[in-house]
Amino acid sequence: MTASGLAVENLVIVGSGPAGYTAAIYAARANLSPLLITGFQDGGIPGGQLMTTTHVENFPGFPDGILGPELMDQMKAQAVRWGTRLVEADATAIDLSQRPYRITAEGQTIEAQAVILATGASANRLGLPSEEQFWSRGISACAICDGATPQFRQAELAVVGGGDSACEEAVYLTKYGSHVHLIVRGDKLRASGAMADRVLANPAITVHWNRQVADASGGDWLEAITLRDAQSGATEELAIKGLFYAIGHTPNTRLVKGQLEVDGHGYLVTQPGRPETSREGVYAAGDVADAEWRQGITAAGSGCQAALAAERWLTHHNLAVTVSHEPVDPAEVGEPTRTAESDASNYDPNALWQKGGFALRKLYHDSNKPLLVVYTSPSCGPCHVLKPQLKRVLDELGGAAQGVEIDIEADQEIAEQAGVTGTPTVQLFHNKELKQTFRGVKQRREFKASIEALIGVPA
């Protein structure tokens, strides 16, 4: 027991990408009852970078590919099935100065004998002079989340970068834009051969070699970017309505700064080919310690190594308090349930959560309760993360407010009328009035506080 009266955890895993979940699966099956802090807004979204990918075609076991968010859902379900406990929040502090180690999340300090850091890496930005002005008004870091936005339809779009992400996003955006420009700062693509071939063979994509983006311009929405020739320095304007960044990532090591050895680029240093960091009982897995391979499968593999190493270390030092599984074989996860689109036959005026334009119109006109409208797109990972959080808020409010999901691809007109410029967007209505708009993933308490303010619950 600790001074706070809480038991010291055997193992806390920070991060919920393939590395974190794989570590959790192994640790849970070793009866260590691991606690996994998923992260929420800091350093990307829960589920990690695969949440902002479409089809993952190279993860063994899925011959026809699998959607990134779906793969992460499966890993999460597998980790939970075997007894992993989740804290769905950001870790806000990590203190490795003495054992047991201390990790703070949701205002609580958790003590742990061993820690696995699987915090991944975050998407880089270009830092253009006008970046803030056009952020979410044409500039986006996630083509997969925002591609279906009405403003991008049949418009000229650009992607910056020459890696697999840039190529994947350029191909993906041809579904929505009239033409896609790929802006590459050098004279070759860094992407894998198959991905590069797909781009070069696609007539809807023009590659601009040796070009840097110097700035962006426009009015309320992005209208053009200035490209600079990397060799001559000459500049030219390119008229586009969307600019998508795919320029690599920076490892998320802020919380352990000065406490663990990092390399010149900020990646955690581990023993060669092993997960041990410079501190005993602290392990690194996935992209936070991998500047080279950075694949879902290598992250998963390193998560497995980290869990096995932690288990051995805990056992060797007699620090683990194991918990047997009850029942021995936990119930199978089964198929996820999906909300059906509401129509006249299944619309329920009292349902907490419904889907589609029919339910939106009915609730907007007939209900006097606060109404949360969440605009999503089919492959948007962050939407996937946000929806269960919103459902939880509505659950906690016990029917005092309702929610409707609008797929902006299926209901383009509604999205356009609502001025949606990216997904997820949440609008809060009350008595036919728009009260608040939330863009991107936000904390549960923000939605709850706004709804409670409308229904007169004291803060």
| Beta strand segments in 71-186, E | 85-87, 91-95, 101-105, 108-117, 121-123, 139-140, 156-160, 179-183
Give, as one character, the DSSP assignment of residue 420: -
Task: Supply angle C-alpha 176, 177, 178, rounded to 5.
Answer: 125
**For residues 382-411, b (16+ Cβ closer than 10 Å) or e, as one string?**
bbbbbbebbbebbeebeeebbbbbbbbbbb
* Residue 350: partners with Cβ closer than 8 Å, 6 or more residues away: 399
Identify which of residues 133 and 298 has a Cβ nearer to ligand NDP in the complex: 298
Identify which of residues 249 and 448 has a Cβ nearer to ligand NDP in the complex: 249
- Taking CA atoms, 302 is separated from 57, 85, 312, in Å, by 20, 20, 15
Residue 9: Cβ-neighbour burial (10 angstroms; 0-12, 13-18, 19+): buried
The CA distance from 403 to 32, in Å, is: 38
Identify which of residues 16 and 151 has a Cβ nearer to ligand NDP in the complex: 16
Q: Which residue is nearest to ligand NDP (CB)?
A: 163
Residue 54: Cβ-neighbour burial (10 angstroms; 0-12, 13-18, 19+): buried
The CA distance from 85 to 106, in Å, is: 15
Identify which of residues 165 and 305 has a Cβ nearer to ligand NDP in the complex: 165
Give, as one character, the DSSP assignment of residue 435: E
Catalytic position from the list 145, 167, 304, 380 = 380
The CA distance from 235 to 214, in Å, is: 8
Neighbours of 116 (CB within 10 A): 33
Give, as one character, the DSSP assignment of residue 30: T
Identify which of residues 35 and 118 has a Cβ nearer to ligand NDP in the complex: 118
Q: Which two tokens stand for residue 423?
A: 């997904």
As measured in angstroms, the least distance from the Cβ of 164 to ligand NDP is 4
Q: Which residues bind ligand NDP (CB under 6 A)?
A: 53, 58, 126, 160-166, 168, 185-186, 190, 212, 246-248, 294
Identify which of residues 25 and 246 has a Cβ nearer to ligand NDP in the complex: 246
The CA distance from 224 to 414, in Å, is: 27
As measured in angstroms, the least distance from the Cβ of 212 to ligand NDP is 6
Catalytic status, residue 380: yes
As measured in angstroms, the least distance from the Cβ of 244 to ligand NDP is 12
Identify which of residues 74 and 210 has a Cβ nearer to ligand NDP in the complex: 210
Match 């409208």 to its residue by tokens.
373
* Residue 270: partners with Cβ closer than 8 Å, 6 or more residues away: 276, 277, 283, 284, 289
Catalytic residue set: 380, 383
